[in-house]
Amino acid sequence: MADYLWWKHGIIYQIYPRSFQDSDGDGIGDLQGVIDRLDYLNDGTGRSLGIDAIWFSPTYPSPMADFGYDVSDYEGVHPDFGDLATMDRLIAEAHKRGIRIILDFVPNHTSSQHPWFLESRSSVDAPKRDWYVWRDPKPEGSPPNNWIGAFGGPAWEWDQKTQQYYLHSFLVEQPDLNWRNPEVVRAMHGVLRFWMKRGIDGFRIDVMDRIVKDPQLRDNPPQPDRRWAELIGQTALQEHKYDQNWPEILDAVREIRTVVDEFPERMTVGEVFGTPENIVRYYGGARLDGLHLAFNFALARVWDRRWTAEHIRRKVDEFEAALPPGAWPNYVFGNHDVDRLATRLAGGAIGQARARVAALLLLTLRGTPFVYYGEEIGMENVDIPEDRLRDPARRYGRGRDPERTPMQWTRHGGFTAGGPWLPYGDLKDNVEDQSAQPRSLLSLYRRLVWCRRRSDALRFGDYAPVDGTPAGIYAYTRSHGDERLLAALNFTDDAVTFDLPASLHVRECVLGTHEATFAGQTIALAPNEGRLLRLG
Ligand code: TEU
């Protein structure tokens, strides 16, 4: 394929580095551990998962107030994970197997322990004072505006020594950088170049939608729809008109793109929230000179009640319709901030059955699939005893530890020789057992991934939803040249039978969530069954 692009046609696997594989027995995952597991991810054969790239949540030196999203040195590796030499070896070993490496780039804020901030807070005249967002209090001493941090509480912290407030859109330990200061921009662009020179293939950009704010720092208006506050906390009490999705962010995005384009075949994927129309703005409009991908979280927000054929089809079609011509979709079912997919889909036997349908959907849609580690074995949220919870966000609402637990390699765990930093989930779901079971979720994942890798229609063919299917059924075709495939998914707990029009002539069953191999114009799907058919 002449225009093969790894980030478009490949599968991106997210690793939460603390929880994937520990190599030195301290109970915390590390980069050597990942190197030891690369063959699981892709050894070039169908025995492996067959992914094309790994995105690592932050691996930088950090006080770990937000487990690495509080960076104290953008050009290093946290000693828990290894050092620069380990990272270099990881890059080389991954590249040998055709696996690309994407780092998490955290431009909105640093750690409060970053030397830049230590200097900035040392005095109002410090040369780096303006690298962060400092403001005087209002006359009565209160914060400069009403902004609420993403985890809850005021987004401003009072600094006794210099008698000003600093802005922190997240934790107090995460002061916001001032992207209106050209020195900050230069320093952060330098970070991108530093890693690209070392061979890093791309960046997942944290809270891309917040790096530049209203220059007047105006008060956010209240959010009239109060429902979201129950789910995501206080931050949803405001409409984030002035501190999120500020139009000037797009200029900063374009500059980042220019830097990334200095190196061949690199990519960016940004974390952006909001409507499809808002998200696709970050691709840069008709010129596509913004991000290569902006995360489409529509399916990461799906839980039990929204797991219907109609809802899912609407979400897919909305995103497809919103994209500017030539822009490429992507799908995310889970990450380190949201409940595990199988748990959201009601957990237990139903959750596992639906996770199979989700796998077939994710790996047959048009767009880059993102897979969060453990999704391929159906890992669920883990119920963690109070005294072992670690995520600071729990102080303000929902903690994220339950979806960050150690990868389940064997019946005994296999993640560490020591005591794991978070407890294991139910070890009956593990890689070793599922590898040996042809009907396991892992085996289904491997079949789907390797089928996708071999199929032009699945990797870059057209997508067209099929109208007129019965309620609860979502069906779509993927076509490229002579290759035409049809995915038919039953989202209900009932068996459903329907006839396909003659224009969709079924030749054979390629694979499915169930054993069924029968292929004909009458499709009989068991409850929660998905099937991929070849048309001719
Ligand atoms: O998350 C951005 C974000 O908006 C979060 O508030 C998210 O909505 C929340 O975690 C849901 O519980 C990114 C990272 O993905 C997250 O892990 C970091 O904590 C955050 O940025 C700060 O860097």
Instruction: List, for residues 293-337, the tens digit of each pLDDT value.
Output: 999 999 999 999 999 999 999 999 999 999 999 999 999 999 999
Cα 45 to middle of ligand 1, angstroms: 35
- CA 207, 213, 219, 221 dihedral sign is negative
Which among 171, 207, 370, 391 is the best mutation to test ligand 1's pocket, defined by most ligand atoms within 8 Å of the CB? 207
Listed in sequence order, the residues at least 6 apart from 113 whose beta carbon sits closer than 8 Å to its beta carbon are 63, 70, 72, 173
Percent of the chain with pLDDT over 70: 99
Alpha helices in 151-248 (DSSP H): 182-197, 227-232
Q: What is the CA radius of gyration of the chain?
A: 23
**Contact between 121 and 288 (Cβ < 8 Å):** no
Instruction: List, for residues 245-293, the tens digit of each pLDDT value.
Output: 999 999 999 999 999 999 999 999 999 999 999 999 999 999 999 999 9
Delimiting residues of CATH 2.60.40.1180 domain(s) in the chain: 461-535
Distance separating alpha carbons of residues 500 and 392, to the nearest angstrom: 52
Range 38-63 average pLDDT = 98
As its CATH architecture, domain 11-108+182-453 has Alpha-Beta Barrel (3.20)
* Mean pLDDT over the full length of the chain: 96
Listed in sequence order, the residues at least 6 apart from 319 whose beta carbon sits closer than 8 Å to its beta carbon are 276, 279, 280, 296, 298, 329, 367
Q: Which atom of ligand 1 is nearest to the CA of 70?
A: 23
Q: Whose CA is nearest to atom 16 of ligand 1?
A: 337
Range 380-397 average pLDDT = 92
Delimiting residues of CATH 3.90.400.10 domain(s) in the chain: 115-167
Distance separating alpha carbons of residues 113 and 284, to the nearest angstrom: 34
Domain 115-167, classified CATH 2.60.120.1440, yes or no? no
Q: Whose CA is nearest to atom 6 of ligand 1?
A: 150
Q: Whose CA is nearest to atom 12 of ligand 1?
A: 337
Is this model's pTM higher than 0.85 or not?
A: yes
Which among 174, 234, 337 is the best mutation to test ligand 1's pocket, defined by most ligand atoms within 8 Å of the CB? 337
**Contact between 111 and 173 (Cβ < 8 Å):** yes
**Contact between 440 and 433 (Cβ < 8 Å):** yes
Helix (H) or strand (E) holding 31: helix 31-36
Token pair in block for residue 491:
């989202």
SS3 344: helix
Q: What is the pLDDT at residue 444?
A: 98
Q: What is the pLDDT at residue 3?
A: 63
| DSSP characters over 451-474 | HHHH-HHHHH-EEEEPTTPPTTEE
Instruction: List, for residues 164-193, the tens digit of each pLDDT value.
Output: 999 999 999 999 999 999 999 999 999 999
Q: Which atom of ligand 1 is nearest to the CA of 398?
A: 12
Least confident of 189-198, 218-227, 489-498: 218-227
Helix 441-454 and helix 348-362: axis angle, to 10°?
10
Place of tokens 């070849």: 534
Cα 24 to middle of ligand 1, angstroms: 29
Q: Whose CA is nearest to atom 2 of ligand 1?
A: 207
Q: Whose CA is nearest to atom 9 of ligand 1?
A: 337
**Contact between 430 and 409 (Cβ < 8 Å):** yes
**Contact between 100 and 204 (Cβ < 8 Å):** no
CATH for 461-535, options being 3.30.390.30, 3.40.50.2300, 2.60.40.1180, 3.40.50.300: 2.60.40.1180
Token pair in block for residue 155:
């987004």
Q: What is the pLDDT at residue 138?
A: 97
Distance separating alpha carbons of residues 337 and 329, to the nearest angstrom: 21
Distance separating alpha carbons of residues 87 and 45, to the nearest angstrom: 25
Distance separating alpha carbons of residues 449 and 504, to the nearest angstrom: 24
Q: Which atom of ligand 1 is nearest to the CA of 169?
A: 22
Range 71-88 average pLDDT = 98
Least confident of 178-187, 340-349, 389-398, 421-430: 389-398
The residues facing 353 across adjacent strands are none
Cα 66 to middle of ligand 1, angstroms: 9
Neighbours of 439 (CB within 10 A): 11
Q: Report which of 1, 45, 18 is spatially closest to residue 405, judged by C-alpha positions.
A: 18
Distance separating alpha carbons of residues 276 and 314, to the nearest angstrom: 12
Q: What is the pLDDT at residue 2?
A: 41
User: What is the bridge-based pairing of β-strands 462-465 and 473-480?
Assistant: antiparallel
Token pair in block for residue 270:
């940004």
Cα 367 to middle of ligand 1, angstroms: 23
Token pair in block for residue 508:
């054979």
Residues with catalytic function:
206, 262
Cα 337 to middle of ligand 1, angstroms: 6
Q: Report which of 298, 288, 385, 285 is spatially closest to residue 334, judged by C-alpha positions.
A: 298
**Contact between 481 and 524 (Cβ < 8 Å):** no
**Contact between 372 and 333 (Cβ < 8 Å):** yes
Distance separating alpha carbons of residues 101 and 210, to the nearest angstrom: 25
294: buried, middle or exposed (CB in 10 Å: 19+, 13-18, 0-12)?
Answer: buried
| DSSP characters over 472-504 | TEEEEEEEETTEEEEEEEE-SSS-EEEEPPTTS
Distance separating alpha carbons of residues 451 and 493, to the nearest angstrom: 27
Delimiting residues of CATH 3.20.20.80 domain(s) in the chain: 11-108+182-453
Around ligand 1, the residues with Cβ closer than 6 Å are 66, 69, 106, 150, 170, 206-207, 271, 336-337, 393, 398, 400
AA identity, residue 234 = Q
Percent of the chain with pLDDT over 90: 93
Q: Whose CA is nearest to atom 1 of ligand 1?
A: 207
Q: Report which of 369, 318, 312 is spatially closest to residue 345, judged by C-alpha positions.
A: 312
Q: What is the pLDDT at residue 1?
A: 45
